[in-house]
Structure 1
Amino acid sequence: MAGFVNYIKESFGELKNNVTWPTWAEGQSLTILVAVFSIIFSLAIWGVDTVFSKVIATYFDLIR
């Protein structure tokens, strides 16, 4: 158990002293960038899924 507590203490020390945190404005702009790309990729996946489902439905209608 002491090893786990030591690990947690060292982790907090690393985060506090050795990590370079972005500024508030930089964090906001990166968050917006990630949100925009997530929306774009989800719409692209939705479009490909829609096309493939219609192609498969058409194929099964043809072989009936």
Structure 2
Amino acid sequence: MLTYFKESYEELKNHVTLPSRAEASNLMVIVAVFSIVFALATWGVDSLFSKLIQLYFNALIG
């Protein structure tokens, strides 16, 4: 287990590079836009299913 942590640390230290500030900002915008679109899509599907279930139970009861 100790060897794993040592090798992981060496990998991070020698082979991982951080993106530039501009690239990180661009990626952040992409993630934010995707998150908003995904949230709106989830809300839309949830609203649709809610309406369908209401219609079903209203038809079943009424």
The verdict on a shared fold, with TM-score over 0.5 as the criterion, is yes
Match of 1:21 in 2: 18
Amino acid across the alignment from 1:32 = V
| Number of residue-to-residue matches in the alignment | 61
Distance 1:23 1:16 in 2: 17
TM-score by length of 2: 0.84
Secondary structure of 1:20's counterpart equals coil
Identity, in percent, stands at 54
Structure 1's consecutive aligned runs of 4 or more residues displaced over 6 angstroms after TM superposition are: none
Pairwise CA RMSD of aligned residues? 1.2
After TM superposition, give the deviation of residue 34 of structure 1 in Å. 0.5
TM-score by length of 1: 0.82
After TM superposition, give the deviation of residue 45 of structure 1 in Å. 0.6
Distance 1:5 1:25 in 2: 37
Can you give the 5+ residue segments of structure 1 that lack an aligned partner in the other structure? none
